[in-house]
Amino acid sequence: MSDSEAKIKTESDKIRNSKFEIRNSEIIFDDVSKFYGEILGVNRVNLQIGPGITSLVGPNGAGKSTLMNLMTGLLRPTRGSVSLLGIPTDKPEALFRKVGYCTQFDSFPRGLTGREFIKSFLLVHGFDSQKADALTVTALERLNLLDAADRKVAAYSKGMRQRIRLAQAIAHQPAVLILDEPLNGLDPMVRAETIALFRKLAADGLHLIISSHILHEVDMMSDRVVLVNNGYVVAEGNIHGVRDEMEEQPMQILIRCDKPAKLAAHVFDEDSVVEARLHQDRLGLFVRTRDADSFYLLLNRVVAEGEINIESIAPADDDLNAVYGYLIGAEGGGS
Amino acid sequence: MSSNINVSEIDKADKQPLPWSLWLRQIRAIFRLEIEKNFLGRRSILLYLLALLPILPLALLAPFTPPGREWQDFTQYSMIFAVYYGGLILRTVVFFGCAWIFMNLFRGDIVDRSLHFYFLSPVRREVLVVGKYSSGLVTSIILFTGTTVICMLLLYVPHFPSESARFFFDGQGLGQLLTYAGITILACIGYGAFFLVVGLFFRNPIIPALVLYGWEWLNFLLPPLLKKISVIHYLHSLTPIPVSEGPFAVVAEPTPAWIAVPSLVVVTVLVLIAASYRIRHMEIRYGSD
């Protein structure tokens, strides 16, 4: 083998290895469809999800839970394949050493206390009793449930049941945590604590997949979002990136300044501006533009001329709420 | 949080060709959870009542000797028990008891919406089947072998105490008692596997259970070849006291014990393999169940 051939071989090995590493560190949906008889669950889903917090967002019945159940093998794809960190979902014995799933099912095996519930399933995992005890205490502590650990789960409040399910999902210390509406039923204080816990887990390098219909919370905690509607993934990625790619929707920008009417006259010189509207307090101007970059150049010129004193410039619709409204619209109003 | 550190032991076990020690630990954990449900759960009340059903009449009769010639003759007691065992204990109590226990192993969890906790654990589904089946087996064996033994003792001892003592300690009594207990255990093994599968394949398992019940009762009318496609035929072949099945019965050679017992065990294993296949491909969709 010549030097150049050897070099090419080394390079191709490197590429193959790096592809393998990526596959083994991501959650991959490869052209996945799921039909319930004639009814569409999800269709032609292609996703690659890395570490950090990824939120699945969409109206009720959009396909969020179907995606989560496909990820955990509770459902099998009609077409395509799903793998988590390189493990196919039809190998539960390998998959659930790395994955924890907190479902939406508010039901438990009968007669168990919180501690027994978590420990029993750690024993089913194969941990010995001593290790299972230690992991149980750690999980209960993380969810502030130690005081209630020896009460029957059936006597728990809705919020406590939600937390004990979360504790059970994280008890075996998985690398991927899938959480279906995990903040449901939690009071504001516990919500904040739980979001902080999710952030900490994500900072530790975990993959967190969260479905939620509370958009501002999703916006607050997610590194990226997957918007689902009618069984299709309509957008995915960093929320600002998703907004930037929606070129057909003019960008809304709020400019706080002392002379908004004068500024309005200036901005109409720009072809890309489709709308300018005074703020209610008459100390700001909403502008909708098809070309944010050239609009910002215009603002630079206005500032340089010194006629108008600009206090702040902020995009008014590159949050999840706006993106959700544009992509899913009134149909998803419920969410 | 790192899964690698905490599951290293399991990971190591998985690298072995067959991680028997891990599987045994998992079976033990599943068994413990299930046995508690079987004996202490809400559904167990019916089971206790069913197990008590054949004991109760014999307990009520214990202080008196009932009228009728056969009750005055100790030698008739073997036949009385054979009829009582075949008609009430085996065909009714063990049959419906096993139906209740084994159909609920998976179906009960689906109704309670708690099966997903097992499905979300790193357990081979075959291991889950073995864990659940063995818990059902132990529950049914304890309850119904207990019922069999108590019934036999309650029939003999109160009415003929001294003859009974000789019968059990010096005669054929102990052998018969152990044989009936063995038949009950085999019935639990065979019916248990069947009902476990029925609970997996049918949304309403009562109908196939009733169909099997009818098939087992009508077994005496079936031609010899069809008789062999039943559990009761093999169990009947093992009874120490043959009971006449009436003038309309189609007579067939009883299957020898050395064929009957392994046949039941082999069929049970095949049925459990079918259950494992089914459970391996099962989805959790409580709404549609």
At A14, is the pLDDT very low, low, confident or very high (cuts 50, 70, 90)?
low
* Both structure tokens of A286: 């909403």
Task: Indicate left, alpha or beta for A125 from its phi (over 0: left) and psi (-120 to 50: alpha).
Answer: alpha
Question: Over 80: is that where the pLDDT of B75 sits?
Answer: yes
Q: Which residues is A330 bridged to in the sheet?
A: none
* pLDDT at residue A233 in the model: 94
Q: DSSP readout, B36-95?
A: HHHHHSTTHHHHHHHHHTTHHHHHHHTTSPPSSHHHH-GGGHHHHHHHHIIIIIIIIIIH
Residue B134 lies in a domain: yes
Region of poorest pLDDT, from A19-28, A142-151, A265-274, B145-154: A19-28
Which of A60, A90, A124 would you mutate first to test chain B, the one with the most B CBs within 10 A?
A124
> A49 to chain B, minimum CA–CA distance in Å?
19
Q: Compare A78 and B67 and report the one with higher pLDDT.
A: A78
Shortest CA distance from B23: residue in chain A? A126
- B166 belongs to a structural domain: yes
Give the pLDDT band of residue A333 (cuts 50, 70, 90).
Answer: very low
Residue B102 lies in a domain: yes
Contacts 24+ apart (CB under 8 A), A257-265: A257/A283, A257/A284, A257/A285, A257/A308, A257/A309, A257/A310, A257/A311, A258/A283, A258/A308, A258/A309, A258/A311, A259/A307, A259/A308, A259/A309, A260/A284, A260/A285, A262/A307, A262/A308, A263/A302, A263/A308, A263/A310
pLDDT of residue B4: 41
* CATH topology match: A24-237 vs A244-334: no
| pTM, rounded to two decimals | 0.83
Q: Which CATH class is domain A244-334?
A: alpha beta
For residue B16, the chain A residues in CB contact (below 8 A) are none
pLDDT at B160 > cutoff 50:
yes
Whether the per-residue pLDDT at A245 is higher than 80: the answer is no
Question: What pLDDT score does B8 carry?
Answer: 53
Q: Which residues of B touch A (CB under 8 A)?
A: 1-3, 5-7, 9-11, 13-14, 22, 25-26, 28-30, 32-33, 36-37, 40-42, 109, 112-114, 116-125, 280-281, 283-286, 288
Residue scoring higher pLDDT (A19 or B66): B66
pLDDT reported for residue B12: 55
Decide if pLDDT at B87 tops 60. Answer: yes
The CATH fold assigned to A24-237 is Rossmann fold (3.40.50)
Higher pLDDT, A11 or A295: A295
Confidence of residue A112 (pLDDT cuts 50, 70, 90): very high
Chain B residue numbers with beta carbons less than 8 Å from the beta carbon of A120 are 29, 32-33
Q: Is the pLDDT of residue A4 over 90?
A: no
**For residue B14, is it within any domain?**
no
Flag whether pLDDT at B242 surpasses 90. Answer: no
> According to the model, what pLDDT value does residue B2 have?
42
Is residue B10, in this structure, part of any structural domain at all? no
Q: Is residue B1 part of a domain?
A: no
Interface of A with B in 102-141 (CB under 8 A): 103, 105, 107-111, 120-121, 123-128, 131, 135
Query: How much is the average pLDDT of A81-110?
Result: 94
* Chain B residues within 8 A of A173 when measuring between CB atoms: 1-3, 5-7
- State the residue range of the domain holding B179: 19-288
Q: Which residues of A40-62 are buried (b: 16+ CB within 10 A; e: fewer)?
A: ebbbebebebebebbbbbbbeeb
Q: Is the pLDDT of residue B94 over 90?
A: yes
pLDDT at A1 over 80: no
pLDDT band of residue B244 (cuts 50, 70, 90) is confident
A88 at interface of B, judged by CB pairs closer than 8 A: no
Q: What is the ipTM of this complex?
A: 0.84
What mean pLDDT, rounded, does chain A reach? 87
More confident residue, A100 or A282: A100
Q: Which residue has the tokens 């508690």?
A: B36
- Using one digit for the tens of pLDDT, what is the confidence trace for A295-304? 888 888 888 8
Query: Domain for residue B6, yes or no?
Result: no
Cross-chain residue pair B116–A74, CB shorter than 8 Å:
yes
Say which of B9, B11, B42 has its CB closest to residue A110.
B42
- Reply yes or no on whether the pLDDT at B130 is more than 60: yes
What percent of chain A has a predicted confidence (pLDDT) above 90?
48
Sketch the domain layout of chain A as residue ranges: 24-237, 244-334
The count of domains in chain B is: 1
Q: Is the residue at B4 inside a domain?
A: no
